[in-house]
Structure 1
Amino acid sequence: PQDKQVYVIRRPDGGVSIKRLNQQLTGAWLIRSDNPDKTAYPDEIASETSVHDLPIIGRVIWRGGGIGS
C-alpha cells in the first residue's frame, strides 16, 4: 500500500471497510477510518510485514464535480 491512501479492505466476516493507511516511523501501519467516531470505528495497527497480508480490494479514487463530456 501507499502511505496516506484510502483502500477498500475485506473484513474477516466478508464485509468491506474503507480505511486510510498511514505508515508510522516504526514501519508499522495505522489503519484508520476518516470517521471521527473512534468508538464505532477504532484505529488498528498492522506490522510492516502483515500489512501485505491485508485483503485489499482496491484503492479509493475521489473525483469531485460532474462526469461526462
Structure 2
Amino acid sequence: MRRELATWGLAVVRGRSMRPTLRDGDRLLVRHGAAPRPGDLVVVRLPDGVVAVKRATMRRDGGWWVERDNPDEGVDSWQVGAIPEADVLAVVRLRVWPLRRPG
C-alpha cells in the first residue's frame, strides 16, 4: 500500500447518516493520506461518486468495511460492499465546529 504525503483539510458533514455522533453542518478536521484504524471516522468516496463520512469497522476484501451510525439513514457497506483503499480519502481527527458541551 502506497500512501501519499499526509495533508490536513476540512470536511463538512451533509445528511443524517452519522447521527448522533455527527450532525448535518458539522465541520471536521481531516488528515488526507492517513492510515485508518477500525473505529475511525473516515471520508470515503462511495461507488456512486458521493463523498461521505462513515465509520471504518474492518479491513475486508482489499478495502474497508464502513458503516453509518444511524441505521435509518444513508448508505454504507451493507448496501455497497467494501470501499477500496483508494476511495478512503481521509481520516477524521476532530470536529472543529460547532463546539458542543457534553449533555
Specify the TM-score bucket, using the shorter chain as the normaliser.
0.5 to 0.7
Q: CA deviation at 1:42?
A: 4.0
Unaligned runs of 5+ in 2: 1-35
2:91 alignment counterpart = 59
Distance 2:52 2:71 in 1: 15
1:34 aligns to 2:69 (yes or no): yes
Cα RMSD (Å) of the superposition?
2.8
- Runs (4 or more) in structure 1 with deviation over 6 Å come to none
Paired residue secondary structure (1:59): strand
Identity over aligned pairs, percent: 30
Unaligned runs of 5+ in 1: none
C-alpha change, 1:55 and 1:5, in structure 2 (3 Å) is: closer
More strand by share: 2
TM-score calculated relative to the size of structure 2: 0.41
Q: How many positions carry a matched residue from both structures?
A: 57
Contact 2:54 2:76 in 1 (8 A): no
1:4 aligns to 2:36 (yes or no): no
TM-score calculated relative to the size of structure 1: 0.55
